[in-house]
Amino acid sequence: MTEPERPQLDFAEMLGGRRGVIDASTPGIVLVIVDTFAPLGWAIGAALVAAVILAVVRRVRHEPLRQAVMGLGGLAGAAALAAFTGNAKTYFLPGILANAGYAVLTIGSILVGRPLLGYVAALIDRGYAHWRDDTALRRAATMATAMWAVVFVLRASVQGYLYAHNDVHWLAPVRLGMGLPLWALAVAGTLFVLEGKRQPDPNLPSTSNGTMSSAP
């Protein structure tokens, strides 16, 4: 019996494929558009409505709700914070702090010699579980982690600067522009540096010729 194909790293599929990416970006696009002609509070409300509509559509079509629910939860939490503080711009604060935290986490993991993307890759695909013992794969995981660290640092620093200087109307388009585009670049870079370094799952029984042994 030949070895069955093992799941590969597929970050797009983790977001629900093309539809998941669209659902994740739509509320942000709505926020940017409405923010150009209405107060930020109205723009936040419009983004929440868009997220709710997407969730309802998915529910009606019996499609997975994971991306829609996660997006709606994040929007609702940020909107609640803005309502609690009475300042609409605090809607952007959780995202800025989250990116700052991710930046610290990824950089710290590199400094201690335990690049975070090594753990992430091994968690998603056991074919990368050997990354601690494989010098080339460990170096690749470090490079991938550094790419993500750059993304998080850029997001936190640029958006944090705009937030601190009350450039509220720039926050929405900058957040959108530094969202999926930078994410896509980091994913592409991650897949590039990990290319060819995956091994078969060591937990799968196999014969000497690389095929799975079958039970009698």
Q: Is residue 21's pLDDT more than 80?
A: no
Q: What is residue 159's predicted lDDT score, i.e. its pLDDT?
A: 94
Q: What is residue 20's predicted lDDT score, i.e. its pLDDT?
A: 63
Where in the chain are the domains?
A: 9-86, 87-201
| Higher-scoring residue by pLDDT: 62, 184 | 184
Q: What is residue 213's predicted lDDT score, i.e. its pLDDT?
A: 41
Span 97-127, pLDDT tens digits? 999 999 999 999 999 999 999 999 888 888 8
Least confident of 81-85, 158-162, 211-215: 211-215
pLDDT, average across residues 170-188: 88
Cβ–Cβ under 8 Å, residues 212 and 2? yes
Give the integer Cα–Cα distance in Å for 22 and 167: 27
What is each CA distance from 66 to 15, 19, 26, 62, 169, in whole angstroms?
9, 12, 15, 12, 30
pLDDT, average across residues 38-66: 83
Cβ–Cβ under 8 Å, residues 202 and 196? no
Q: What is the mean pLDDT of the chain?
A: 81
Q: What is residue 210's predicted lDDT score, i.e. its pLDDT?
A: 44
Q: Residue 15 — very low, low, confident or very high, per pLDDT cuts 50/70/90?
A: low
